[in-house]
Amino acid sequence: MPELPEVETIKRELAPHVVGRTFASVTICDDKPIKQPEPERFCQNLAGQRIDRLERRGKYLIFHLSSGQALIVHLRMTGALLLNPRDPNHARVIFHFDDSSQLAFTDRRRLGAIWLAEDAKAVTRKLGPEPLEAHFTTEILAKLLQKRQAPIKAVLLDQSLIAGIGNMYADEALFLARIHPLRQANSLSHQEVQELYQAIRQVLQKAIDSKGASIDTYKRPGGATGAAHQDFHVAHQKGKPCPKCFTPIERLPIRNRGSYFCPRCQAI
């Protein structure tokens, strides 16, 4: 599933190709992803609009348009945005630009979502702070955790608390901080919160530098894959030796999500 590093990579790599371009038309091959407005009006309203800038908010990619509206894309599990693809598999929506270039939204599992909204905040307003922004501090993380008895892994995945962290990077951050994913969030000491804060930022920034992780279907706009998964310590590494202590990595379900961890380095 594309998480913060993947969506940030897509934003950075799309921007030089689409900012300043105008939508000429839209081809909807499957209207399931279109959440608002209804498909016919979606196409009509988008045609003729210029893309002024791109923004990422959590796992959402936001195209800010010349009318003041926002085109918002959430890739969910298997979505991708591909520039000028040849016969793309599972194409759901194809955006045609004024220079004859195309941007295809592909989605094998049909779980992605697209909105054309008057204000992006109508879709993203419930998101928590951005973990790589300067205003996200150790103190803010501590306040988010102090009243929550849920497992720390589940809390990190709650997008209303912190925006953009998904399954893979939560596992990696918890490993670096040596915290078991089942630890009760409000049981973390001040030192553990500091270490988790640093681990979150380190893991996310490193993944951005590596252009995201191509575990399954993630592709960058040009069709290339990312390399962040090559540096994973525990995520998707079940049975492999821990890189620190050589104990086999284990997997357990937490709130219906698979969690990978080292039972020795992250002893509960």
Catalytic residue annotation: 2-3, 59, 257
DSSP E strand stretches across 84-169: 91-97, 102-107, 113-117
Structure tokens, 34: 């279109």
Place of tokens 């934003």: 11
What does the alpha-carbon distance between residue 220 and residue 81 come to, in Å, rounded to a whole number? Answer: 7
How far is 240 from 183, CA to CA, in rounded Å?
A: 23
Is the sign of the CA dihedral 237, 205, 81, 165 positive or negative?
A: positive
The whole-angstrom distance between residue 211's C-alpha and the CA centroid of its chain comes to 12
Helix 4-18 and helix 190-209, axial crossing angle in degrees, nearest 10: 40
- Token readout for 60 is 């959402």
DSSP 186: G
Q: How far apart are CA 178 and CA 50, in angstroms?
A: 47
**How many C-beta atoms surround the C-beta of residue 15 within 10 A?**
16
SS3 233: coil
Looking at residue 84, the DSSP 8-state letter turns out to be S
What's the alpha-carbon Rg for the chain, to the nearest Å?
A: 19
